[in-house]
Structure 1
C-alpha cells in the first residue's frame, strides 16, 4: 500500500470512528506530538468579492475595507481568503491587512508572478482567477499555486485551485493549503459537482504526498470546501483529501446561512442552509491534542447599494460566515 493510500485509509478509519462517537471527531495524536505542535489560530473566510465588472452593485470596496476592521479578522496566525476575485478590492483588502499579516501570497490563478512554483492547469487566458490568497503573521518560506484540472459550470471559467505555503513559526515549519472547491452549480450535470470536488480533494492529497512532509510537522487545509458537514459527502471528502475532522464544531451551525445571512438570503432565497467552510489537519501529521472549528455569526453595520433605482440594505460583509480553527 502506498503512503497516499495509507493516509486515505486512515482518513476513512477516522471517519468511521467519528461518525460512531461524535459526528465530527478525529484521531488524537500522541501527547509528545501535540506538545510540540505550534498552537495556531487560522481563519478561513469566503469574502464574496466578485468582479465589479460583472457584479457592480455588491459593495465590494466597502466590504473589503470593513472586513479588515472586524474582530474576527484580527488576532489570527493565518488568514485564508476565498472569492477574492475582484482585483482592486482584493488588493485593497490585502494592503490594509499587511500590518497584521505582512507575509502574503498573490491570488491563485491571477498570474504566475510572485509564486515559487505553479502547477496543475493554469492558463493565462482563463477569464477569472481562482480567488484564493493566504495572509500570515509568520514568514512564508515557500509559496506555490496549483490550478485544478477538473471543473464544471461557472468554475470552468476560473483558475480555481489551491495555494500552498510553508511557514516558519519560531523555527518550526508549518504547511498550509488554502482552497475553494467546486461549487454545486446549475451548469453542472447531476452528481458532477461532487465528482469534481472528489477529484480536487484527491489532487490536494497527491500534491502533499509528493512533498514527503515529515509526520512531525503540522499540515492544515482551509477553505470553502463546498461540502456540507451533515451529508455523506463529508466522509468522502475526509477520505479523498486524507483529512481529520475537527474534534468540535462550535458557534453558528451553518457557515452558509440562507435564512440569517442577509446577503445569502437575497442571493439564494430557495437554497438550504449549509455548513461548508473548514480548517482541518491532514491525517498522519502532528496536530494539537484538541482542534476545534468555530463558525462566527458575523454581523455588520447596515450598508446600502442601489441597482436600477432600488436601494438594497445588508447587515453582513459576505454571504458566508467566517470560520476559525484553533486548539481547544
Structure 2
C-alpha cells in the first residue's frame, strides 16, 4: 500500500509539473522515507523530520519528542520541493482536543529558492471534527499560526493602503483546515480572521470544489457508509500581491491499479492544486 501511494504521488507531481508539494498526515517515518526516495529524482528537497519545534505548550513539546521516539512524525506536515529549501521551521499548536490532543498538530514553514527568488511556503493541519468546541480550538490555532508566521516571515518595509501585511518575501500557504467555506461560511470567516490581512484563497470568487466528498470519492463513501459529505477542507492561500494563474482545483486522477488494504485506514481526501506567479 505504501508503495502504491508513493507511486501515485510521483505520478501527480510529474503530470502537473508540481514545484512545491505540501502534504499532511505523513505520520509514519517508514512511509516518509519511502516517499522521499520515490520523489528524490524530481523533488530532492524536503523539510524532512524536524525534531526541534517552536511551541508555547510544554505538553505538546513533550508529545512531539515522544512521537519521534516511537518513529512517528509529529503533525505529519511535510513539504517537498523541486527547488532548494534553504531554511525550515516548525511550530506546534498549544491546543488540541479529542484524538488531536495526541497528534502534535502544527505547521511547517520553508524558504525555497525558486530560480533565484525566495518563496515562503507554509503547510498546516488544523483540529478535526465538527462542533462549537473544536471550532473554538481552530480559531485559537489560526491565531497562533498567524502570530508565528509573522515571526518567520517579517513584515516588509512596503506599506499597503488597504492594511495588508506584506512579508519580506512572497508567501503561500496550504493545508487541511477542517472547516468548509461552502457549508460553514460564517465559521470559516471567523476562523481565518487573524490570517485575512496576509492571505486570500486561491479559489477566487468561484465556489471551490469539495475535497471531502462521498459523491465523487468512492473511498470516502466506503469509509462513511451512513453519512453524506460534500465539504471543502483543504485550501491553498496566497498573498494579495501574488499573481494567481490557475485557481484552486481538485485533482481527480485515480490510481491505475486497485490498492488492496486490510481495513479502511487511510484519509479519504482529494488532492488540490493551484498555480501562482512570483
Under TM normalisation by the shorter chain, which class is it?
A: 0.7 to 0.9
CA deviation string 1:77-134 (max 9, x = no partner): 10000111122122211211111111101146xx33xxxxx20132212475211100
Determine if the alignment matches structure 1 residue 140 to structure 2 residue 64.
Answer: no
Match of 1:102 in 2: 44
The answer to whether the Cα contact below 8 Å between 2:106 and 2:125 also exists between their aligned partners in 1 is yes
Match of 2:217 in 1: 261
Give unmatched runs, 5+ long, in structure 2.
Answer: 157-165
**How do 1:157-168 and structure 2 match up within 5 A?**
157-168=102-113
Picking from 163, 168, 172, the partner of 1:220 is 172
CA RMSD of aligned residues (A): 2.7
Match of 1:241 in 2: 195
CA distance in 2, matches of 1:104, 1:306: 28
CA deviation string 1:10-62 (max 9, x = no partner): xxxxxxxxxxxxxxxxxxxxxxxxxxxxxxxxxxxxxxxxxxxxxxxxx3342
Picking from 141, 145, 148, the partner of 1:200 is 141
CA deviation string 1:137-157 (max 9, x = no partner): 121111001111110111111
Give unmatched runs, 5+ long, in structure 1.
Answer: 1-58, 113-117
The worse-fitting range, judged by mean Cα deviation, of 68-77 and 133-142 is 68-77
CA distance in 1, matches of 2:208, 2:195: 25
CA distance in 2, matches of 1:203, 1:321: 27
- State the 1:267 CA deviation: 1.3
Q: Which has the higher contact order (CA 8 A, sep 6+)?
A: 1
Determine if the alignment matches structure 1 residue 301 to structure 2 residue 256.
Answer: yes
The answer to whether the Cα contact below 8 Å between 1:64 and 1:93 also exists between their aligned partners in 2 is yes
Count of aligned residue pairs for this structure pair: 250
Structure-2 change in CA distance of 1:200 and 1:247 (3 Å):
same
- For 1:294, what is the secondary structure of its paired residue? strand
Q: Report the TM-score, using the length of structure 2 for normalisation.
A: 0.80
Question: Displaced runs of 4+ in structure 1, greater than 4 A?
Answer: 71-74, 249-252
Picking from 20, 26, 30, the partner of 1:84 is 26
Match of 2:61 in 1: 122
Picking from 241, 253, 272, the partner of 1:323 is 272
